[in-house]
C-alpha cells in the first residue's frame, strides 16, 4: 500500500485528483491513484457505484474478437493483468477463470471460427480448436447439438463488477480516498485554461486534475470543458436468472450458435450465487428489448443447450448503455483544450479496467505519455 499518512493529511504538495464516475473504470483508477503518495483522491458518483454500464455488463474479459492487432494486444495485456490485480486486492471480486468455449453449427460460421482461431493464435492468444468430446469433458451438462467447429480460449475470464468496484473503493478509502455517492457533477470552474474546481449538486471540489470516467455522460461533461468526445448510442441487454445448481463446471463463459438465421449467438455465464447472465449477439450487439418475453425467450434457448437449468426463471433487466466512442476505440489521455482534464472512456471497460487503472495512473501522476495509448488520444476527434 502507498504511504497512507500522506494521503490522509494533505500537504501543500498534495495533488488533488477528482474522478467523476464510480463505474469499473473510475473504481480501478481510484484504487491505483490512491496507492500513490501525496495524492488526494475524490470520487464523485451521481448515483451509486456500479449504477452505469458496469452494472449492466456481461463482464467477459477477453481479446477474442478485438481488431486490429494493436487493439487486440491492448485488451490482451489487460486481460493478463487481471490475475495480478486479483492477487493484489486479495478479496472476493467474483473472478471466474476457465476460459471461453464456443461452437458453430453452420458451415460458413464454422469456417469463420477456424479462421479466427488461426489468426489470433498467430498473435499469441492462448486458444485452440477442440473436439465435441473435449467440450463434453469440460462441460458434461452441455447438449450442444450439431458441432462443426468448437474452440476454447483459455485465458478468458469473467468478473463480477459489483464486488470488484466495492473492493477497489474500500481499499482506496483505506488509503485516504473519499467517495461521494449521489453527487452529480454539473460543471467546472475554469481559470486560465485549466479546471480549478468541479461543480456538483453538493458544492464545489477544488482539483489539480479531473478524470472523466463517467461513461456515456462523458461526452456532455467534456463539452462543458471545451473538449469534443463524440460517442455512438449502444444499448444492450444481459438478462439474469434465479440461482441454479452448478452448471458450468470449468469454463467461465460459453458462446452458443444461433438456432437459425432469425436468431443471434447466445452468451452465458454463471455467477458464484448460481444465477446466470445471458445475452445475445456480439459484445457490441444493439438490443433494447427489456421485456419479460425477451428474457424468457433467451432463457428458453439457453435451456436447449443446458437442460439441467430447466427450473431457472428469467429476470428481465433494464437496458444498459455502453460507453461507445464514435470510432469504437478507447479515449485515453489529457485533452488539448483543458490540459488537466483526463478522459477515460471506453467500451470493453471490464477487460480494460486493470490496464487503464494502472497505466493512466502513470500518465496522471508521473507525467509520462504511454506509447500504448498513442492511437487512443482524445485529440483524434478534433
Ligand atoms: C449490455 C452490455 C454488455 C457488455 N459486455 C461487456 C463484456 O462482456 N466485456 C467487457 O469488457 N465490456 C462489456 N461491456 C462494456 C463495459 O461494461 C463498459 O465498457 C464499462 O462498464 C465502462 O465502465 P465505466 O466505469 O467507464 O462506465 P460506467 O460503468 O457507465 O460508469 C460511469 C459512472 O459515472 C457516473 N456518472 C455519469 N455522469 C455523472 C455525473 N455528471 N456526475 C457524477 N457521476 C456521473 C454514472 O452514474 C456511472 O456510475 C458491456 C456493456 C453493456 C452495457
- Read off the CATH number of the domain in which 213 is found: 3.50.50.60
Q: How many CB atoms lie within 10 A of CB 69?
A: 13
In a domain, 22, yes or no: yes
- pLDDT of 9 reads 58
Residues 240 and 374 in one domain: no
Which triple of cell numbers denotes residue 35?
496507492
Residues 224 and 241 in one domain: no
Residue whose cell numbers read 444492450: 236
CB 348 within 8 A of CB 16: no
Which triple of cell numbers denotes residue 314?
428469467
CA of 201 to the centre of ligand 1 (A): 21
Residues 118 and 229 in one domain: no
348 lines ligand 1 (CB under 6 A): yes
The rounded distance, in Å, linking the Cα atoms of 108 and 210 is 48
CATH value at residue 117: 3.30.9.10
350 lines ligand 1 (CB under 6 A): yes
Q: pTM of the full predicted structure?
A: 0.96
Residues 183 and 226 in one domain: yes
The rounded distance, in Å, linking the Cα atoms of 243 and 84 is 30
The domain of 115 spans 100-154+235-321
Residues 271 and 167 in one domain: no
Residues 341 and 301 in one domain: no
Among the candidates 321, 347, 369, a domain finishes at 321
H or E, element range at 206: strand 203-206
Tell me the pLDDT tens digit for each residue of 284-307.
Answer: 778 888 899 999 999 999 999 999
The total number of structural domains that make up the chain: 2
27 lines ligand 1 (CB under 6 A): no
pLDDT at 7 over 70: no
217 lines ligand 1 (CB under 6 A): yes
Q: Pocket of ligand 1, candidates 57, 180, 317, 332: which has the most ligand atoms within 8 Å of its Cβ, to mutate? A: 57
Protein residue with least CA distance to atom 33, ligand 1 = 21
Residues 28 and 10 in one domain: yes
Q: How many CB atoms lie within 10 A of CB 62?
A: 25
58 lines ligand 1 (CB under 6 A): yes
In a domain, 89, yes or no: no
Which triple of cell numbers denotes residue 51?
449504477
CA angle 62/66/67 to nearest 5° reads 160
- pLDDT of 316 reads 83
The rounded distance, in Å, linking the Cα atoms of 139 and 143 is 9
In a domain, 88, yes or no: no
Tell me the pLDDT tens digit for each residue of 134-165.
Answer: 999 999 999 999 999 999 999 999 999 999 99
Among the candidates 275, 294, 321, a domain finishes at 321
Amino acid at each position: 500500500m502507498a504511504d497512507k499518512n500522506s494521503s490522509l493529511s494533505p500537504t501543500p504538495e498534495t495533488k488533488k485528483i477528482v474522478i467523476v464516475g464510480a463505474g469499473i473504470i473510475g473504481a480501478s483508477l481510484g484504487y491505483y491513484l490512491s496507492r500513490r503518495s501525496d495524492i488526494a483522491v475524490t470520487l464523485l458518483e451521481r448515483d451509486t457505484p456500479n449504477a452505469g454500464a458496469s452494472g449492466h455488463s456481461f463482464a467477459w474479459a477477453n481479446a477474442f474478437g478485438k481488431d486490429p492487432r494493436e487493439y487486440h494486444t491492448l485488451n490482451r495485456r489487460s486481460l493478463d493483468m487481471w490475475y495480478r490485480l486479483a492477487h493484489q486486492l486479495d478479496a472476493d471480486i467474483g473472478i471466474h477463470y476457465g476460459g471461453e468455449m464456443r461452437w458453430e453449427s453452420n458451415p460458413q460460421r464454422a469456417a469463420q471460427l477456424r479462421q479466427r482461431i488461426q489468426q489470433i493464435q498467430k498473435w499469441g492468444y492462448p486458444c485452440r480448436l477442440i473436439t465435441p468430446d473435449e467440450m463434453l469433458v469440460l462441460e458434461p451438462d452441455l447438449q450442444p447439438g450439431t458441432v462443426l467447429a468448437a474452440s476454447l480460449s483459455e485465458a478468458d475470464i469473467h468478473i463480477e463488477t459489483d464486488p470488484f468496484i466495492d473492493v477497489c473503493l474500500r481499499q482506496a478509502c483505506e488509503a485516504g480516498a473519499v467517495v461521494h455517492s449521489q453527487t452529480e457533477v454539473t460543471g467546472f470552474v475554469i481559470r486560465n485554461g485549466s479546471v480549478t474546481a468541479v461543480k456538483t449538486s453538493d458544492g464545489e471540489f477544488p482539483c489539480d486534475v479531473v478524470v472523466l470516467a463517467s461513461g456515456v455522460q462523458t461526452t456532455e461533461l467534456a463539452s462543458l470543458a471545451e473538449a469534443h468526445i463524440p460517442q455512438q448510442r449502444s444499448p444492450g441487454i444481459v438478462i439474469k436468472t434465479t440461482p441454479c445448481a452448478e452448471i458450468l463446471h470449468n469454463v467461465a463463459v460459453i458462446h452458443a450458435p444461433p438456432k437459425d438465421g432469425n436468431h443471434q449467438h447466445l452468451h452465458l455465464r454463471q455467477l458464484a450465487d448460481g444465477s446466470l447472465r445471458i445475452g445475445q449477439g456480439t459484445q457490441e450487439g444493439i438490443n433494447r428489448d427489456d421485456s419479460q418475453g425477451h428474457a424468457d425467450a433467451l432463457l428458453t434457448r439457453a435451456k436447449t443447450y443446458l437442460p439441467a437449468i430447466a427450473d431457472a426463471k428469467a429476470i428481465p433487466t433494464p437496458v444498459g448503455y455502453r460507453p461507445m466512442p464514435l470510432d469504437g476505440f478507447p479515449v485515453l489521455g489529457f485533452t488539448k483544450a483543458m490540459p488537466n482534464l483526463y478522459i477515460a472512456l471506453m467500451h470493453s471497460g471490464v477487460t480494460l479496467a486493470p490496464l487503464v487503472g494502472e497505466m493512466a495512473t502513470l500518465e496522471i501522476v508521473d507525467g509520462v505519455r504511454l506509447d500504448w495509448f498513442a492511437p487512443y488520444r482524445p485529440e483524434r476527434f478534433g
